[in-house]
Structure 1
Amino acid sequence: MRPELIHLHHNDPVLNRRDDANMTAESRNHPINLTRRGPTLALIFAASSLVIAGCAEKSPEHQEGTANQGVEITGEWVEVETTQAEIHAWFPGSVIASQQAPVASRLSGYVRELAVDEGDTVREGDLLLVIDPANLESQIQQAEANLSKARSAFNNARSEYERFKSLFEKDAIPKRQFEQVRLGLEAASGDLAAAEAAVAQARSETDYSRIEAPYDGVVTERHVEPGQLANPGQPLLMLQGSQAREIRVEVDDSAFAALPTGTSTQVNYRDAEAVDRDFTAEVITAISAADPVSRTHTVKLAVPESVEINPGQFVSVRVTLDTRGSIVVPNDAIHQRAGIEGVFVLDDQNRARFRVVRFGRESDGESPVLSGIVVGDRVITNTDGRLANGVTVRGGQGS
């Protein structure tokens, strides 16, 4: 088949490919004949357009929007605007007992009896353990022997004093000799008092062989076994009080400045049933000296008695750092599609369109918007039917 010819003028900027210097006058006055390739390119372009259009029509969002055309539901929306929102930071903390101390012995001896174990709850005055007082018994016997000796010496000194006193009154002995006897009686009296005190001290030590709970609490650690030697000052048990509880949290400089003593802040935790809960705690201690390694400050908060939370439990402490303008949306307006969070906004025809949005951490029923919507967008907050792309929403602006 003979190719079709197309006539284009020579001075067409696309087809004029010859050097003007080599062109003859005849060629300047006559059209140029070229093989027509336009239809082939046009066919390729048309086929590509059909493929792209077909793919677009088959996208889930397009199909959903097309399928929902004509569907109407009633709902409410809010127009996005900038509001003054608090900027928060969250810091991990832990619950500790206000009363927590190691239990140690004042005596040196073997552990004869251990009455508690880790996890046991005790009351004030309950027996914790007993130290074998065998060493104390020998000390008491020695102290009592010294007391008997001192008492005999005192009796002799007193008898001598009475005899020499009678002689001195009769001028039978010089005064100097009498004074020596009197001083001997005073020394014997002092030795007797010291011996009596030593016996009392030795006997009182036996009271320390029985170690009792100083307050109500829970035994959290045990560092000794029956028959083991216990030395004075050695921690044997760790006892946590079961009454007042505190939260210990480490914060940076900016958060520390926002947590002076006496202020209150929100604390979040998860209860035994894995339910997220929160309460308000008051700052009771704020240590201004920063840790030289972590560069953080220690802050302690009081846990209300009504809150059921145990020492050792993990919590999150919210600190308000600043207040600035930002966009927030109610949590009821947030939807998930295929695991992606976003909101439905209204277009100019009041049709719903899903918009992917990146949120910050929610607070007080609202979530700050980091990206995805702008001021002026209309976010759907409540409807009486299922929201989907292309659905027409009738109603009005909610509060």
Structure 2
Amino acid sequence: MKFYIKSISFSLLTLLLMACGNAENKAKKEDKPLKPTYQVTNVKSDTLKYKLSLPGELKPYEEVTLYAKIEGFVEKLNVDRGDLVKKGEILLNIEAPEIQQKLLAARAKQREIAEKLSFSAQNYQRMNRASEVEGAISSIELEQTKTRFMGDSAALSAVKAEVAAAAQLAGYRNIKAPFDGVVTSRFVSPGALVGSGKEPLLKLAREDKLRLVVAIPSKHADALSANTKASFTVNGAPGKKFPVSFSRSSRALDPELRSLMVEFDYDNSANILSAGAYAQVHLQLRRNQPTLKVPASSIITTPTQTLIAKVKSGKIQMIPITTGISKDGMIEIFGNLDSGDQVVLKGNSTLKNGMAIEAVNAKKQLNN
């Protein structure tokens, strides 16, 4: 009977000790914090190809405003707005009598000096022949004749230059077309006083070839190349697309627009389009080297910066980045990251530097 009581007491003591031990272990487990679990994905590298739509403007391939170089009155106006002209065609005549008089005076002076030169040349030849006979003339006389001949020769050269300058100035009385084109504006009428750049005379444009001018934002500038293709539409030709190829760029960003000014030449020999029209330009762009991209959900934006949560050895590293192009749920990033790095799939503001997490690969693999 005593043995039975002792056995029961021993059993109760054992159960009590076990209960205390389990309670202690449970308390220890509860004291240990659990790590949050986050899905992660890999940073990918790719040469991005994408389409971009931007506004553009059609401009004449060549355009010029004509001014008068000399002062005078408009004597005759041979063209009007809308007239087609050929290179070298006289568009306008200026009456400037004083310019013509200067030319006539210079030519008269040229003839006078030419006659003097002819006489001094003949005289020098006679004196030179005479000097072959010893004692016929003195050396001083021969030298004087030669000097007179050389002076008249120099004077003739100078007056010829005057005549050429006067003739060129007189030529400015005729305003000629610098290229084939169309007169787009007329600013004067016959009898108007013009000259010395006071006011424009005519405006001329070449429209058989047009320049499509587009401002490419700086973030897209390095995706442009000599092989870039584009097409554009205009309101004046609904439903039609006009293909063009890259022609030239400014190479430097416009300081006001912070954009690269790019031109695409369009053959308008059929006269379908008009200069001055606005266009919607559709570009096919391609980065010139691979860049990194991540799911758009990985980006963390704060009031001061844009971040991404990189995961390394189970801990968070907050990396400052700059974003680029978004395409198909992925976004281009630039920062201290490499292809293959793990980042949190769904970033949020609770993630901090050094934070320990349980990283789990995302079940849904995003396509490139």
TM-score, normalising length: structure 1: 0.53
**Cα distance in 1 for residues equivalent to 2:284 and 2:168:** 56
The Cα of 1:301 is off from its aligned counterpart by 0.6
- RMSD over equivalenced CA pairs, Å: 3.1
Q: 1:182 aligns with which of 146, 155, 158?
A: 146
The Cα of 1:106 is off from its aligned counterpart by 3.9
Aligned counterpart, 2:215: 250
Question: In 1, are the aligned partners of 2:57 and 2:278 still within 8 Å (CA)?
Answer: yes
**Cα distance in 1 for residues equivalent to 2:256 and 2:168:** 46
SS in 2 for 1:262: coil
Question: In 2, are the aligned partners of 1:260 and 1:286 still within 8 Å (CA)?
Answer: no
Question: In 1, are the aligned partners of 2:88 and 2:178 still within 8 Å (CA)?
Answer: yes
The Cα of 1:208 is off from its aligned counterpart by 3.3
Shift in alpha-carbon separation, 1:204–1:253, aligned structure 2, 3 A: closer
Question: In 1, are the aligned partners of 2:208 and 2:271 still within 8 Å (CA)?
Answer: no
The Cα of 1:302 is off from its aligned counterpart by 1.6
Higher mean C-alpha deviation, range 205-214 or range 293-302: 205-214
**Cα distance in 2 for residues equivalent to 1:206 and 1:268:** 48
Aligned counterpart, 1:225: 189
The Cα of 1:320 is off from its aligned counterpart by 4.3
Shift in alpha-carbon separation, 1:172–1:308, aligned structure 2, 3 A: same
**Cα distance in 1 for residues equivalent to 2:152 and 2:279:** 67
SS in 2 for 1:177: helix
Counterpart code for 2:52: A
SS in 1 for 2:244: strand
The percent identity for this pair of structures is: 26
Give CA deviations for 1:137-179 in whole Å, capped at 9, x if unaligned.
2112211331233134324423432443344223233324312
Question: In 1, are the aligned partners of 2:208 and 2:267 still within 8 Å (CA)?
Answer: no
Aligned counterpart, 2:68: 105
**Cα distance in 1 for residues equivalent to 2:219 and 2:232:** 18
**Cα distance in 2 for residues equivalent to 1:307 and 1:173:** 81
Shift in alpha-carbon separation, 1:268–1:242, aligned structure 2, 3 A: closer
The Cα of 1:246 is off from its aligned counterpart by 1.4
The Cα of 1:95 is off from its aligned counterpart by 0.6
**How many pairs align?**
242
SS in 1 for 2:66: strand
Higher CA-based Rg: 1
Aligned counterpart, 1:215: 179
Does residue 52 of structure 2 align to residue 92 of structure 1?
A: no
Aligned counterpart, 1:237: 202
TM-score, normalising length: structure 2: 0.57
Question: In 1, are the aligned partners of 2:58 and 2:213 still within 8 Å (CA)?
Answer: yes
Aligned counterpart, 2:86: 123
Aligned counterpart, 1:68: none
The Cα of 1:325 is off from its aligned counterpart by 11
**Cα distance in 2 for residues equivalent to 1:174 and 1:256:** 84
Aligned counterpart, 2:299: none
The Cα of 1:90 is off from its aligned counterpart by 2.1
Aligned counterpart, 1:199: 163
Question: In 1, are the aligned partners of 2:67 and 2:197 still within 8 Å (CA)?
Answer: yes
**1:1-399 paired onto structure 2 within 5 Å:** 88-170=51-133, 171-232=135-196, 235-271=200-236, 275-305=238-268, 308-320=272-284
Shift in alpha-carbon separation, 1:216–1:152, aligned structure 2, 3 A: closer
The Cα of 1:129 is off from its aligned counterpart by 0.7
**Cα distance in 2 for residues equivalent to 1:122 and 1:165:** 60
Shift in alpha-carbon separation, 1:315–1:166, aligned structure 2, 3 A: same
Give CA deviations for 1:211-250 in whole Å, capped at 9, x if unaligned.
2223221112333333333324564222111321110111
Give CA deviations for 1:246-275 in whole Å, capped at 9, x if unaligned.
101112012322222231112122225xx2
SS in 2 for 1:288: strand
**Cα distance in 1 for residues equivalent to 2:87 and 2:215:** 32
Question: In 2, are the aligned partners of 1:255 and 1:319 still within 8 Å (CA)?
Answer: no
**Cα distance in 1 for residues equivalent to 2:271 and 2:197:** 36
Residue ranges of structure 2 left out of the alignment (5+ in a row):
1-47, 288-292, 296-327, 330-368
Give CA deviations for 1:58-96 in whole Å, capped at 9, x if unaligned.
xxxxxxxxxxxxxxxxxxxxxxxxxxx975432111111
**Cα distance in 1 for residues equivalent to 2:98 and 2:240:** 55
SS in 2 for 1:289: strand
**Cα distance in 1 for residues equivalent to 2:284 and 2:235:** 21
Aligned counterpart, 1:60: none
**Cα distance in 2 for residues equivalent to 1:102 and 1:161:** 55
Counterpart code for 2:124: Y
**Cα distance in 2 for residues equivalent to 1:200 and 1:290:** 45
Residue ranges of structure 1 left out of the alignment (5+ in a row):
1-84, 327-367, 370-399
